[in-house]
Amino acid sequence: MSGTALIGTDTEKAASLLRSGACVAIPTETVYGLAANACDPAAVGSIFEIKNRPFFDPLIVHIGCVDQVAQLAVSFPEKAKKLTEKFWPGPLTIILPKSELVPDIVSAGLFTVGIRMPDHDLTLKLLQSLEFPLAAPSANPFGYVSPTTAQHVADQLGNKIEYILDGGPCRVGLESTIVSFESEYPVILRLGGISMEEIEEVLGKVLVSTGDSSQPTAPGMLSSHYATRKKLLFGQLDDRITQYAGLNVGVLALSDLRGQNGIILSKKRDLNEAAQNLFASMRMMDNADYDLILAEEMPDSGLGRAINDRLRRAAH
């Protein structure tokens, strides 16, 4: 379609578009998603087309009620249940063996499916009013920074979709943490809005396997992802600032710009606040007239780990 997407808060309009097989952008607490009926392969196909996303990259299925897990997955292990009891609705995606209800295009041909219940009033209301769950990747062109406001979505996909459900700026600002229950031992496949420490409080020690990969089992974990168009370098700031002294450098810092131009993610060094500001700040710096972005490495704890993961991939 052509034209400009409407931005609004009308969940009934969103529902009727989704029932007709169209894609609608939806707010969540993590990032905005580009949603379609997860049980309709043609509707899901248009998500891939709009995002220019490769078919080997599976989608997360969003639900409004925990009973839907039993329809989408053939088993729901105790440990996975414990985790969802603690963190749903919220920024947690679980990977389980999929049922026949999940079309191959959603799981990219894998035998598993990613499921999550997002923590956002408007979207929960929408999900609970629908007769089907919603497949939704982040609502950005493949490989670019994820959107955390309705305007971010409009800027990049506004001429390709009809409606953007506006739920305000995203509260968490980083995608969900993905935990796989494919084998006996749970594995964190993507660091995200729930910290590793919080997961381990429930499950005990877990493996983290988010390494660089071009494997279809963790394609969102491609080493080059979440990227700005402008060159971004990631690491300790001080030596980099000296090294690039001749250039018009923009600094993305946790709390101290070292006298440079740029953006501070959290004056009080609160890593949750830094996560909330991260993607919008990366976009602003990408659109400003810097030659180069220097992003500071965060402390390796709490959401700092997930922020570092995104910045490292953006720098690749």
User: Using CB distances below 5 to 8 A depending on partner kind, what does residue 35 bind out of ligand TXA, Mg ion, none?
Assistant: none
Residue 108 vs 288, nearer CB to Mg ion? 108
- Contact between 45 and 105 under an 8 Å Cβ cutoff? The reply is yes
Helix axes 11-19, 121-129, angle to 10 degrees: 40
**Cβ at position 245, least distance to ligand TXA in Å:** 37
- Residue position matching structure tokens 């440079």: 260
Considering only CA atoms, give the Rg of the chain.
19
**Cβ at position 54, least distance to Mg ion in Å:** 12
Residues 118-137 that bind ligand TXA (CB under 6 A): 118, 136-137
Residue 103 vs 114, nearer CB to ligand TXA? 114
Considering only residues 57, 198, 270, 273, which one is a binding residue for ligand TXA as defined by CB under 6 A? 57
The H-assigned helical ranges of the chain are 11-19, 41-51, 69-72, 78-87, 104-107, 121-129, 150-157, 196-203, 237-243, 271-287, 304-315
- Contact between 95 and 113 under an 8 Å Cβ cutoff? The reply is yes
Residue 178 vs 237, nearer CB to ligand TXA? 178
Contacts with 27 (C-beta within 8 Å, 6 or more apart), sequence order? 120, 122, 123, 150, 165, 166, 167, 168, 170
Length of the chain: 316
Q: Which stretch binds ligand TXA (CB under 6 A): 147-155, 212-220, 277-285, 288-296?
A: 212-220
Provide the 8-state DSSP code for 68. G
User: Using CB distances below 5 to 8 A depending on partner kind, what does residue 134 bind out of Mg ion, ligand TXA, none?
Assistant: none
Distance, CA of 316 to CA of 309 (rounded, Å): 11
**Cβ at position 308, least distance to Mg ion in Å:** 17
**Cβ at position 8, least distance to Mg ion in Å:** 24
Residue 138 vs 180, nearer CB to Mg ion? 138
Q: Is the dihedral of CA 46, 52, 57, 62 positive or negative?
A: negative
Residues 171-190 that bind ligand TXA (CB under 6 A): 175-176, 178, 189-190
Residues 61-80 that bind ligand TXA (CB under 6 A): none
User: Among residues 221, 239, 241, which one has the least CA distance to residue 312?
Assistant: 221
Residue 71 vs 217, nearer CB to ligand TXA? 217
Six-digit token string for 105: 């295009």
**Cβ at position 257, least distance to ligand TXA in Å:** 29
- 89 touches ligand TXA by CB under 6 A: no
- 58 touches ligand TXA by CB under 6 A: yes
Residue 254 vs 307, nearer CB to Mg ion? 307
Binding interface with ligand TXA (CB under 6 A): 28, 30-31, 33, 57-60, 91, 93, 95, 107, 110, 112-114, 116, 118, 136-138, 175-176, 178, 189-190, 217-221
